[in-house]
Chain A
Amino acid sequence: MTKKEETMDRERFAYLLDAYGADFRRWPAQARAQAAAFAAQDAEAAALIGEARKLDAVLDGARDEAGPSADLAARILAAAPRAQRPAFDRRAMLALAACAVFGVLIGYGGGMLAPAPAEDDSYFSMAFEAPSFEDEG
């Protein structure tokens, strides 16, 4: 909001014209109707507008209508965030890891709980028993 917007006199009209140019569409919304009414009834307004319009026309002549180059949008979009597929992958990885841990635990725990085999090492002691030489000689 500007200090000078309450009434539209020549000073305020020239002030806004200086800032925004001759096209009232660029003016503050609340000043447009007042500006148009003032321009219609003030003798000097047309000359002031004419001066501002010259600069507008010069500036508009330099308006660059060429858009961005063809591949710029593609380059920008190539860097855009991608949907997070890892949300599923992470769950799958966690499930796999849980299965692996569970499998190890079952394997280890099962081994611990299984009845120990009877300790029959007679074959061992027999194998290493000192040979008897009674029959020899």
Chain B
Amino acid sequence: MIDPDAELVRSAGAGDTRAAEALVRRHLPKMVGVARRMLSDGAEAEDVAQEVFLRVWREAPRWKPGQAKFETWMHRVALNLCYDRLRRRRERPDPDAGLMVADTRPLASEEWLARQRAARVNAALAQLPERQRAAIALVHFDEMSNIAAAEILEISVEALESLLARGRRALKAALADVAQDLMGGPEGGP
């Protein structure tokens, strides 16, 4: 298995700042993206991404290409950090969570509608069990191959497909009105 990051990781570990910059350019948006999907919180997602890279810098000097690709390992670290934060949220619920979602601008502009739909989707995603949410984040939003996503989640492709199918069915039920609004034409609009 050829790991496209192996050389960069080795160089970054040896203190090559250009290699470190290349790793950040290549992976930071994905780390933030998957954490946003998991946590529905931009600031927390950036904290997670930063923590992932701190671990990368710690591991890079002694990184040895093994069974998993570096990107796979990074995604696993990111998801585990998200699972930890979600568990802490369950244990200590934030009373202010979700208060920032609503936008009360009076004019129903296209942008406003799009934001409302996005908020609904994010809320529906947040209701999914974590593993289903992670599967959809990786395959739908990150457009990863089924094999790569299954490897990150450390499950078989069949198990991944089961997570995806259950997640998508739940989203379809939760977002039926949004789909109707979006696809149903002008008469379906608000």
Contact = CB atoms under 8 A, between A and B. Distances in A.
A27 B13 CA distance: 36
Contacts of B33: 64
Contacts of B179: 54-55, 57-58
Interface stretch (B73-81, B88-96, B99-107, B167-175): B167-175
A3 B161 CA distance: 11
A19 B117 contact: no
B121 A61 contact: yes
Contact of B118 (A25, A29, A61): A61
A81 B9 CA distance: 11
B21 to A, nearest CB: 6
Interface in A42-95: 53-59, 61-64, 66-69, 72-73, 75-77, 79-84
A81 B117 contact: no
A2 interface: yes
B50 A57 contact: no
B98 interface: no
Contacts of A56: 140
B29 A81 contact: no
Contacts of B14: 81, 83-84
A99 B175 CA distance: 77
Given A28-B146, A58-B117, A84-B15, A67 B32 contact: yes
Nearest to A74: B24
A56 B61 CA distance: 41
B28 interface: yes
Q: Report which residue of A3, A57, A79, A81 has the largest number of chain B beta carbons within 10 angstroms of its beta carbon.
A: A81
Interface in B19-34: 20-21, 24-25, 28-29, 32-33
A80 B12 contact: yes
Contacts of B125: 62
B46 A72 contact: yes
A81 B157 contact: no
Interface in B138-176: 139-141, 143, 145-147, 157-158, 160-162, 164-165, 168-169, 171-172, 175
Given A2-B161, A73-B28, A55 B171 contact: yes
B55 to A, nearest CB: 11
B68 interface: no
Contacts of A82: 15, 17
A27 B16 CA distance: 38
Nearest to B60: A81
Q: Report which residue of B60, B157, B171 has the largest number of chain A beta carbons within 10 angstroms of its beta carbon.
A: B157
The 9 closest A-B pairs by CB, nearest first: A83-B15, A62-B121, A80-B20, A62-B118, A19-B164, A18-B165, A19-B161, A54-B179, A76-B53
